[in-house]
A and B are shown apart, each in its own frame.
Chain A
Amino acid sequence: MALDKPYQRIPGTTIFDAEQARLGYHLNQFCMSLMKAENRQRFLADQRAYLDEWPMTEEQKQAVLARDLNRCIALGGNIYFLAKIGATDGRSFQYMAATMTGMSQDQYAKMMLGGGRARGSTLPNGEKA
């Protein structure tokens, strides 16, 4: 009998479970390496060469190079790990969050100041939050 994973039905959300963690192990461990200043410098100096030191899939590497966080998450990335890429880029977390929602940072910041995204409001793909 299969495990029950009801959280997979929540729109616009990918729960980082054991299966996602398995897919994203090397992607997330690459992110962990950015906690050291010398690694951050090395990564920024030649991103492709740095990524090639990790046994990540080509798709994962392309998603990192494009800073496509939704794609990174689909490929097993976890946001707390991925946040270290944004920190390395000198980006705020709010900037990173905005990129996942299809909004500009300014639009996203205004939404948060207005009380955040309401439960049941419509997501860009038409589903309800």
Chain B
Amino acid sequence: MAAISASVYTSHVPAIGAAIDLGKTQEPYWQPLFKGYEFSRRWMRAHTPDVIFLVYNDHATAFSLDLIPTFAIGCGSEYRPADEGWGPRPVPVVRGHPQLAAHIAHSVIQDDFDLTIVNRMDVDHGLTVPLSLLFGQPTQWPCPVIPFLVNVVQYPVPSGRRCYSLGKAIAKAIALYDEPLNVQIWGTGGMSHQLQGPRAGLINRAWDERFLDDLIRDPEALSRKSHLEYVEEAGSEGIELVMWLIARGAMSTARPKVAHRFYHVPASNTAVGHLILEEDR
């Protein structure tokens, strides 16, 4: 049987990808941020899973306004890094896991979550920046990745409650897969940031820290936060944090082991949060 061993949470700021690609990680601006991921890279080397189920959002890359799926699962065998306007990132092609992805889609759709199936798409910084942060610059990513996309661009986006319940359905599906795979689930995006309008630049450290506390200890209560609170307190793009609830909902333990916790302001316009939670077995 496949099983989820850990969940990983991280922001996916495009400027972080640019800093890695352009060799700027040791510059004074970026050094404190990358220091916060040093432990995580060692941890990932020791805990490389067989598959990563990576929850992220597309930023007007694979999905234009022609098609806006609320939840979409990548069932393809590979995904190329997208040209988001300044050329594709120089990172490896992402290998998928079509068998496990199709299995999860089947089970989750039968559990009343109407997923869109994606067999061909390019992946943007939302997916590749977390991989770079956790794996550095390898010539190949160390394991296959199942991309899972959530619409957080056009309102209304799915509620935190819906995302948390979806996480549970994903965990159930993974537990029903016959092959004994070690799976990690990653929730990405956030934390507080607003990229638009006169209010751009909003950061709310106190709210973010409470979000991290609640994600660890009381995700049930956290999942009831309204969209309005996310936008008011964490900025219009802070709404991405609902995606973390999918990963947290997929964990079975009420008291996961906190392997790592990190918070840093700023990365360009954004507050960066990062957690590694291990299942307590």
Chain B residues near A94 (CB, 8 Å)? 15, 268-269
CB distance from B62 to the nearest CB of A (A): 10
Interface band, chain B: 35 or more
**Cβ A28 vs Cβ B65 within 8 A:** yes
**Which residue on A lies nearest to B233, using beta carbons?**
A119
Interface SS majority for chain B = loop
Query: Could you give, for residues 45-88 of chain A, a 1 whenever the CB lies within 8 Å of some chain B CB and a 0 otherwise?
Result: 00000000000000000000000011001000011110110111
A21-38: which have CB < 8 Å to B?
21, 24-25, 28-29, 31-32, 34-37
A44 located at the interface, meaning its Cβ lies under 8 Å from any Cβ of chain B in the complex = no
CB distance from B228 to the nearest CB of A (A): 5
CA distance A98 to B201 in the complex (A): 8
Whether a CB of chain A sits under 8 angstroms from the CB of B144 is no
Q: List 15 A-B contacts (CB under 8 A).
A: A7-B227, A10-B236, A14-B196, A17-B156, A32-B65, A34-B85, A35-B82, A69-B196, A84-B84, A94-B268, A102-B198, A112-B203, A113-B266, A117-B194, A129-B199
Q: Knowing that A86-B85, A115-B203 are A-B contacts, what are 5 other residue pairs whose CB atoms are under 8 Å apart, sorted by A's residue number?
A: A29-B65, A32-B60, A81-B60, A94-B268, A116-B203
- Name A residues whose Cβ lies closer than 8 Å to a Cβ of B: 6-7, 10-18, 21, 24-25, 28-29, 31-32, 34-37, 40, 69-70, 73, 78-81, 83-84, 86-88, 92-94, 97-98, 100-102, 108, 111-113, 115-119, 123-125, 129
